[in-house]
Amino acid sequence: MLLQARAVENQAFVIAPNQCGVHERGMETYGNSLILDPWGEVLVQAPEEEEGLFTAELDLASQKSLQERMPVLNHRRLS
């Protein structure tokens, strides 16, 4: 959910790779890598604990259109 918020507030695609398996000292991770569109919609979610290469088509024209219709990034104030 937090990654979806980052995608929406930045009007950007978010690619969130994650590792899976049991690592040194017994640490276990669960995968579930994601690719999200600028609306926070999940384009790809890797199956839990599955290694592999996962891809998605990124509609850059749609992203540009969104940024033109809702120019929220123009209203940022950096400290």
What are 24-50's pLDDT values in tens digits?
898 888 888 999 999 999 999 998 777
pLDDT at position 23: 87
Domain limits at 42? Answer: 2-65
70 within some domain: no
Q: pLDDT over 90 for what percent of the chain?
A: 54
The token duo for 22 is: 């049991």
pTM: 0.80
CA angle 77, 16, 11 (to 5 degrees): 35
74 within some domain: no
29 within some domain: yes
Q: How many structural domains comprise the chain? A: 1
76 within some domain: no
51 within some domain: yes
Cα Rg for the chain, rounded, in angstroms?
A: 16
Summarize the confidence of residues 13-34 as an average pLDDT.
89
46 within some domain: yes
Give dist(CA 41, CA 52) in Å, integer: 21
Neighbours of 7 (CB within 10 A): 22
Sequence length of the chain is: 79
40 within some domain: yes
